Structure 1
Amino acid sequence: MKPVNNVVIVGGGTSGWMCAAAIARMAPPNASITLVESEAIGVIGVGEATIPPLLEFNQFLGLDEHEVLRECQGTYKLGIEFVDWLDLGKRYFHPFGFYGRDTPEFAFHQLWLRLRALSETGKAPAELAGDINDYNLCAMAARLGRFAQPQGGSDAILSTLRHAYHFDSMRYGQLLRRYAEQRGVRRVEGLVDSVQQHPDHGMIESVTLSDGQVLAGELFIDCSGFKSLLIEGAMNSEFIDWSRYLPCDRALALSTTGTGAPDPFTRATADNAGWRWRIPLQTRMGNGYVYSSAFADEDDVHRALLAGAEGEALGNPRPLRFRTGHRRLFWEKNCVAIGLAGGFIEPLESTSIHLAQIGIQRLINLWPGRGINAAEIAHYNRIMTADYERLRDFIVLHYSATQRRDTEFWRYVGHMKIPDTLASKLEIFRGSGRVIAAPDDLFTPHSWLAVMLGQGINPTHYDALVDRVPETALIQNMRHLKDAIGKTAAALPSHEAYLKRYCAA
């Protein structure tokens, strides 16, 4: 086996520079890292909203959170508000933080389900079981436009806060570029013209640029976006198409001027043939419409996007095309596909940057410093496929569990066959309120709970073991917890004030 001393990353943007920065952080001193990109190729750049695991990536690099938000004109994100998904006029909130307090015996939501059952028979006050988000500090803080960092030990209410960011993804990529170059990564300007592979075993030996420059290496990382120059162009890795589950394949993206204090949450509003995003940054508003070309044409979407956007347009809407799915092999021989080159799941839960992040983290955990190992490659492909499938199920849930039948698009997704893995999870929840999650699930049981309840999936029963808790104690404890969370949220500083104090752009 040939040791990996020379790494060539094809493609820049957020994924490419995340990859370069992370490898530079961990690579041995003798490693050479080269990234080739061209300023002539635009960056996709829809990833302006993120999810909490990105904090871990930034901490791994040693980046200061406030500095990142200053540099990237960012704001904080406590969750996502979903409007018109269950039905027209209905909305719910998916918070990143935790609901109430789990006990050693019971998940908190099982206690809440029992409380709701007691309220339906008049044995408990209705207001205590009205909205489970009353027991979630992230949801309450978002409702009030407030923000703070998590604090205290595990028993502290403030410790239940979790957050992510809204930011300018192009600026984030530039920040990571500076980080990587300061640690020895060499950037080459150019376009890949051809790929040279070993005639016997098919390993990539080098790439040749349009100016004739040859970049040789032992490991090649494909960050070329939807073009998939290496993983498809050279390795012919099959694409597993999930459009039957997730039919949206187009988007229009538009920036507008800001319209006041930025909300600490993303908003996703369901529309006739898809949904519209609203992402508040410090200096502007990110807007977009994700839709299915089978159910709408671009002109109609263009009009709907402009009509629904707040503020004044900063340019014309930018069209994007994509396929939902992934490569059967993310890692083939000595080529690893990261980010969009490896797969894409529409940005409904802001997972695009995260999918690049987990691909990078798993690659580093299996770093082939002493040579390419077939067993490790097979393991990487198994766990990446499982990551994508679990995330697919979570996104499909938003579409399939809907009562909307007002357009052809919503009639299709409301009646489509869903993956068996998702169907099984929903059947268990409907029966007993149990949320079955794998240890490596990106989204916690709290997230699954928020979306299942928000999309109108209500359990028939709760866990029977919860009946061991005395009714009086349950009611008293829930009243105390709801009151404490409400008062804590009200005492937090406003999101706008926090940004101005710590990370004003």
Structure 2
Amino acid sequence: MSAAGLVGVLKPDQVRVRLVESDDIGTVGVGEATLPQMREFNDRIGIVESEMMRKTNATFKLGIEFRDWGFRGSSYVHPFGAHGHPMGGVGFHHQWTRARLAGEAHDIGDYSYAIVASRRNRFDFPAADKSAVNSTYDYAYHFDAGLYARYLRDWCEARGLTRTEGKVKEVRLNPHSGDVAAIVLESGEAITGDLFIDCSGFRGLIIGGALNGPFEDWTRWLPCDRALAVPTERSEDFTPYTRSTALEAGWQWRIPLQHRTGNGYVYSSSFISDDEAATRLLGNLDGKPLADPKPIRFRSGRRTASWTKNCIAVGLASGFLEPLESTSIYLTQVAVLTLLDLLPRGPIDPVLAEEFNRVVDNEYDRVRDFLILHYHANTRTDSELWRHCREMEIPDTLREKMALFGHRGHIAQYKDGLFSPPSWLSVFVGQGVVPTGYHPMADTL
């Protein structure tokens, strides 16, 4: 994805891009869910939607369904779109809160076009006319992660990308500056460069291995540290949404693709064994498994400085916030687009590196708070994990957001950050955090 961003935007006479990768090192996951921002990325670099979907067995996605998260038996959808329309100068949810406090209890999801369509397994492209009710939502994709990686490689090579097959054996540093001087492959070839983008996954070969970049561990807030992924045969019609079902020690995903369904169990090893997790996952599948469960180990957190020296860590090498809410590809996209905005003209500029790290850190921190909300705001009493999450200390930034919304339905709007007020609204209400008051302007209607 990093190579695609650079090759798709920059001209060959501006910069030379060389990709080093090995077919022996696979991608993480058997299915991948995305967010609407991916469409913006594709549009910017020139990827054609219909071609990409055909070659990756992709389906459309209107949001994410959450089952059993707030409490057992609960269900809500986080849609890629708005709830209702602002009235009286304030957000629609203030009118909804006013009606609810007056005894008129309506499901807020009934006022979301994307949610209603999802519940009926329907999809259509948003209308171009912004005054139309069916213009109030967006969409994303589900696709095969392996096919997507191959598609991007072919797309890049067709546009002049130089690709080298190989594994990195050694990272050589400049003894005076501490910058990366070269990476040495197992073949013995030494590859030099001005800027190195570390896309080596959880290993972080350059940023963590050679440069010893510190990692900020957020396991105390996001306790899930393992996953099992397994593909199954399709068992029902396409659902235009990802499904996330809370289980005793984590949650299970379901991602519908054209040719199969991606499934997985994300769990905390502190609350369930690997064997128990595998048994639980296989017992919950709605189709025949096509492979054995693939184990994945991770820890949630981020590098304290993704741009260090002349190395920029992108994707899993930079950080990871578990698969919940499909943020991994988005965070990769943010890093790539921010790099394009701040690309140095000559030697590495510390001012640009500092700004890059500020932007990336803000994105991670705000996504972190959004994910913690799902775990913390629950009333489940059936397992130790959920009691732990409900009682744990949370970041001050999230505590303030919850207090503001609970007091009067106020949702802070930031210039930067992935999740906008409609997303926070859907998860707040879905998890049982409802306002006890509303904006006084709602009384003017």
Shift of the alpha carbon at 1:93? Answer: 1.1
Asked if 1:255 is matched to 2:231, the reply is yes
- TM-score by structure 2 length? 0.98
Q: Contact 1:47–1:350 at 8 Å: present in 2 too?
A: no
Higher alpha-carbon deviation: 46-55 or 102-111: 102-111
Asked if 1:20 is matched to 2:15, the reply is no
Shift of the alpha carbon at 1:47? Answer: 5.7
Asked if 1:96 is matched to 2:80, the reply is yes
**Counterpart for residue 442 of structure 1:** 418
Asked if 1:282 is matched to 2:258, the reply is yes
Report Cα offsets for 1:364-421 as digits up to 9, x if no partner. Answer: 1101132210011011111111110000000000000000121111111110001000
Cα distance in structure 1, aligned partners of 2:8 and 2:302: 27
Q: 1:418 aligns with which of 349, 370, 394?
A: 394
Give the number of equivalent residue pairs: 444
Shift of the alpha carbon at 1:195? Answer: 1.1
Cα distance in structure 2, aligned partners of 1:161 and 1:379: 32
**Counterpart for residue 175 of structure 1:** 151
Q: Contact 2:30–2:231 at 8 Å: present in 1 too?
A: no
Structure 1: give runs of 5+ residues left out of the alignment: 1-17, 121-125, 470-505
SS of the equivalent of 1:233 reads: helix
Q: 2:12 aligns with which of 22, 29, 33?
A: 29
Shift of the alpha carbon at 1:97? Answer: 1.1
Shift of the alpha carbon at 1:445? Answer: 0.3
Shift of the alpha carbon at 1:46? Answer: 5.4
Bigger-Rg structure (1/2): 1
Q: Contact 1:149–1:161 at 8 Å: present in 2 too?
A: no
Supply the AA of the counterpart residue of 1:468. T
Higher alpha-carbon deviation: 429-438 or 289-298: 429-438
Report Cα offsets for 1:161-207 as digits up to 9, x if no partner. Answer: 21111110111111111111112111111111111111111111111
Shift of the alpha carbon at 1:228? Answer: 0.2
Shift of the alpha carbon at 1:456? Answer: 0.4
Q: 1:334 aligns with which of 300, 310, 319?
A: 310
**Counterpart for residue 212 of structure 1:** 188
- TM-score by structure 1 length? 0.86
Cα distance in structure 1, aligned partners of 2:344 and 2:88: 41
Q: Contact 1:47–1:347 at 8 Å: present in 2 too?
A: no
Cα distance in structure 1, aligned partners of 2:62 and 2:43: 19
For 1:43-442, list aligned pairs within 5 A: 43-45=27-29, 48-103=32-87, 105-118=89-102, 120=103, 126=104, 129-442=105-418
SS of the equivalent of 1:116 reads: helix
- Runs (4+) of structure 1 exceeding 6 A deviation are none
Shift of the alpha carbon at 1:103? Answer: 4.1
Supply the AA of the counterpart residue of 1:365. D
SS of the equivalent of 1:179 reads: helix
Q: Contact 2:76–2:430 at 8 Å: present in 1 too?
A: yes
Cα distance in structure 2, aligned partners of 1:302 and 1:438: 40
Q: Contact 2:7–2:161 at 8 Å: present in 1 too?
A: yes
**Counterpart for residue 485 of structure 1:** none
SS of the equivalent of 2:135 reads: helix
Change (3 A) 1:346 1:328: same
Q: Contact 1:405–1:414 at 8 Å: present in 2 too?
A: no
Report Cα offsets for 1:445-467 as digits up to 9, x if no partner. Answer: 00100000000011111111211
Report Cα offsets for 1:59-103 as digits up to 9, x if no partner. Answer: 112222122111111111111111111111111111111111124
SS of the equivalent of 1:437 reads: coil
Cα distance in structure 1, aligned partners of 2:209 and 2:161: 25
- Root-mean-square deviation (CA, aligned residues, Å) is 1.1
SS of the equivalent of 2:232 reads: strand
Higher alpha-carbon deviation: 436-445 or 39-48: 39-48
Cα distance in structure 1, aligned partners of 2:279 and 2:218: 28
**Counterpart for residue 486 of structure 1:** none
Q: Contact 2:117–2:123 at 8 Å: present in 1 too?
A: yes
Supply the AA of the counterpart residue of 1:108. F
Structure 2: give runs of 5+ residues left out of the alignment: none
Report Cα offsets for 1:328-382 as digits up to 9, x if no partner. Answer: 1100010000000000001110111111110101011101132210011011111
**Counterpart for residue 25 of structure 2:** 41
Kindly, what percent of the aligned residue pairs are identical?
A: 46
Q: Contact 2:126–2:134 at 8 Å: present in 1 too?
A: yes
Q: Contact 2:31–2:262 at 8 Å: present in 1 too?
A: no
